[in-house]
């Protein structure tokens, strides 16, 4: 299972009941916090996010609407007696910011906190279930996107079929890797006859604050779900470019070029009381678009 819960979908200033950016990506085994704007903890409480299950935090950039809630989250975890380690991936300066905040308060965390500075586009995290790559987007300051990809599962053994062909158990690993089975008499039994395809791996691409940058599409090709910022409505391309942000139709074009299955748009400008037009506009370019509505979990 891979799902993302939206905790904050607004840009810059909290407005019209919308909060600054934060999301939680939930897998079967772990949870990732992606950006952590002001108010994230309150949103976590409201939407019943299990904070202790979060083992990694990914911060895209150091504009306040993406990390001003982080020190609160870190220290609350300590006050709750957390013991499990937590790893933060973010721009290098974030480490000093956190350390200063902890030092001046004479705070010693109850759990090990690791920091991984983002300096180059590479794989930054990997387990047997999931991998995470970071990639550069283009914003007024250094800003990173993240591509979360499930690891391809091996094929499943069809026990009944294997029994009927008398395949020895010692051969099962090879079958899972896709090999055919050759009987003692030399007959080839096709792998498809003996195994069942595993569910295709899913992926989630997170593109935080960025100017419209078509080259992003190549870095997140085939994403099952793409989150892309859409700060402004169409018609404000000039303003969007000046501020290193994107519009609805620009976000939709990235989804189209990346051959994404579905698009989520968010990071809405505080100037808009209603979001209705955002969805309408994006759908004109990429029909399978949804608004990143706070409190909604999108199953990927
Ligand atoms: Zn922002
Ligand atoms: Zn920003």
Residues 14-36 have a mean pLDDT of 96
Ligand nearest to the CA of 230: 1
Tokens of 66: 């993406």
For residue 47, how many C-alpha atoms fall within 13 Å in the half-sphere facing its CB? 19
Instruction: Please check whether residue 3 is in contact with residue 30, taking contact to mean a CB–CB distance below 8 angstroms.
Output: no
CA of 144 relative to ligand 1 center, distance in Å: 12
Short-list 218, 170, 47, CA closest to 23: 47
Gap from CA of 163 to ligand 1 centroid (Å)? 57
Model confidence at 11, pLDDT cuts 50, 70, 90, reads: very high
User: How remote is the CA of residue 217 from the centroid of ligand 2, in Å?
Assistant: 20
Ligand with the closest atom to the CA of 137: 2
Active site positions, annotated: 65
Please classify residue 266 by burial: count the beta carbons closer than 10 Å to its beta carbon, then call 0-12 exposed, 13-18 middle and 19+ buried: buried
pLDDT tens digits for 163-187?
999 999 999 999 988 899 998 889 9
pLDDT of residue 135: 98
Angle at 202 between CA 199 and CA 207, to 5 degrees: 175
What is the CA(174)–ligand 2 centre distance, in A?
Answer: 48
Going by DSSP bridges, is the β-strand pair 156-157/195-196 parallel, antiparallel, or unpaired?
antiparallel
pLDDT tens column, 189-214: 999 999 998 889 999 999 999 999 99
């Amino acid at each position: 299972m891979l799902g993302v819960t939206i905790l904050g979908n607004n840009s810059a200033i909290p407005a019209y009941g919308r909060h600054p950016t934060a999301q939680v990506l939930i897998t079967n085994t772990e949870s990732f916090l992606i950006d952590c704007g002001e108010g994230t903890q309150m949103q976590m409480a409201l939407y019943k996010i299990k904070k202790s299950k979060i083992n990694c935090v990914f911060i895209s950039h150091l504009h306040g609407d993406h990390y001003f809630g982080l020190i609160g989250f870190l220290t609350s975890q300590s006050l709750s007696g957390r013991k499990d380690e937590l790893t933060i991936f973010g721009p290098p300066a974030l480490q000093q910011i956190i350390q200063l905040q902890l030092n001046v308060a004479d705070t010693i965390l109850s759990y090990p906190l690791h920091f991984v500075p983002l300096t180059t586009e590479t794989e930054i995290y990997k387990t047997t279930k999931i991998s995470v790559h970071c990639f550069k987007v283009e914003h007024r300051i250094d800003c990173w996107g993240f591509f979360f990809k499930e690891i391809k599962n091996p094929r499943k053994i069809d026990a009944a079929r294997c029994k009927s062909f008398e395949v020895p158990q010692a051969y099962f690993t090879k079958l899972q890797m896709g090999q055919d089975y050759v009987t003692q008499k030399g007959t080839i039994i096709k792998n498809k006859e003996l195994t069942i395809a595993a569910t295709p791996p899913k992926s989630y691409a997170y593109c935080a604050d960025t100017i419209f940058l078509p080259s992003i599409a190549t870095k997140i090709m085939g994403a099952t779900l793409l989150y892309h910022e859409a700060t402004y409505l169409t018609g404000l391309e000039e303003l969007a470019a000046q501020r290193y942000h994107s519009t609805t139709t620009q976000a939709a074009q990235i989804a189209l070029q990346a051959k994404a299955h579905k698009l989520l748009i968010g990071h809405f400008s505080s100037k808009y009381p209603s979001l209705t037009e955002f969805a309408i506009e994006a759908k004109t370019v990429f029909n399978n678009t949804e608004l990143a509505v706070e409190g909604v979990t999108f199953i990927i």
